Amino acid sequence: MSETIITLATRNEGKRLELEQWLSLQNSPIRLQLNHTVGDIEETGSSFLENALIKAQSTPPVVSGGWVLAEDSGLVVDALDGFYGLSPFPGLHSNRWLTPEIRETLLGQSFPNRGPLDRVTEAGITNSDLCYGLLQLMQGQSNRQARYCCGMVLWHPDSQQRIEFLESVELWMIDTEPRGLNGFGYDPIMVPLNAAGRPASQTVAELSPESKNLMSHRGKAFHKILSEWLKAF
């Protein structure tokens, strides 16, 4: 198979690098590119898959006649279900639940990002703010388990064909403080659990990219969607 360019519908360079690293481990000829002419896309869907499709359909491929890959993912913390009117929490609002007003109430300050792939929202919320805000809400909670959900869509604008998957990874625990400088998002406070439910010694942000990709909700969804795509085409 010759090299194939797929457009990744995101402005998050961390997501592109994570998926590129997964492709490298698979010795895949597929390469991902971002369309830098596309600005922020309003996520108005009621599910991760709906938001992923909105992103895919709003992003022109960088290669004429090419495919567009989009995903929407988020953290689900059952112990906090219903907080700030969100069920599941934070779910679809994983990057948006912490407003400047809530941050001021919970934290009283903003925390600088820890790694080069961390982002700042349009409202001025850092990834570190999100982590510390979640840790503040988790104080006194006995159930610290969480799971990531990822809706992913591979979309072909010319033919209107699409392949989609929803991947959920449930074995995670929220740590008590941020640790590690790798990854992005909530990685510094997320600890993987093994099949017996025992926490690992490292947070996701302390793992190598290769180790993270072996358990990544995004990588697993990507593997399934590419498998379906290769079977069909």
Domain range summary for the chain, segments of one domain joined by +:
4-232
Average pLDDT, the chain: 92
CA-closest candidate to residue 124, choices 92, 102, 148: 102
Band (pLDDT 50/70/90 cuts) for residue 211 is confident
* Tally of CB atoms within 10 A around 63: 12
Q: Is the pLDDT of residue 1 over 60?
A: no
Instruction: Give me the pLDDT at residue 115, please.
Output: 87
Give the pLDDT band (50/70/90) at residue 215: confident
% the chain with pLDDT above 70 = 98
Residue 214's alpha-carbon distances to 14, 42, 47, 147, 188, in angstroms, are: 16, 30, 25, 16, 17
- pLDDT at position 205 is 95
CA 69/CA 193 separation, integer angstroms: 29
* Model pLDDT, residue 79: 98
Task: Read off the tokens for 103.
Answer: 């941050």
Q: Mark out the alpha helices in the chain (DSSP H runs).
A: 13-25, 48-57, 100-106, 127-137, 209-215, 217-232
Report residue 210 as tokens: 């290769």
Using 50, 70 and 90 to split pLDDT, how confident is the model at 175? very high
**What would the CATH number be for the domain defined by 4-232?**
3.90.950.10
* Chain position carrying tokens 């990544």: 216
Strand 161-174 versus strand 30-34 pairing type: unpaired
150 token code pair: 């990822």
DSSP assignment of 198-209 equals PBPSS-GGGS-H
Task: State the distance between the two ends of the chain, measured CA to CA, in whole angstroms.
Answer: 11
If one compares 80 and 223, the residue with the highest pLDDT of the two is: 80
Q: Over the stretch 158-172, which tens digit does the pLDDT of each residue have?
A: 999 999 999 888 789
40 confidence band (pLDDT: 50, 70, 90): confident
| Residue bearing the bigger pLDDT, 167 or 190 | 190
The answer to whether residue 78 is catalytic is no
CA dihedral 41, 150, 30, 209 (to 10 degrees): 110
In angstroms, the CA 9 to CA 164 distance is 14
pTM comes to 0.90
Find the Cα–Cα–Cα–Cα dihedral 44, 49, 54, 59, rounded to 10°. Answer: 140
As a whole number, mean pLDDT of residues 187-197 equals 90
- pLDDT of 2 > 80? The answer is no
The conformation of residue 182, written as its DSSP 8-state character, comes to S
What's residue 54's pLDDT? 97
Q: pLDDT digit string (tens) for 3-15?
A: 899 999 998 888 8
Quote the pLDDT of residue 233: 62
Please return the burial class of 75, using the count of CB atoms within 10 Å of its CB with bins 0-12, 13-18 and 19+. buried
In the structure, what pLDDT confidence band is assigned to residue 225 with cuts at 50, 70 and 90? very high
| Residues 43, 58 contacting (CB under 8 angstroms) | no
Catalytic residue from among 40, 72, 81, 175: 72
Most confident of the ranges 95-99, 168-172, 180-184 = 95-99
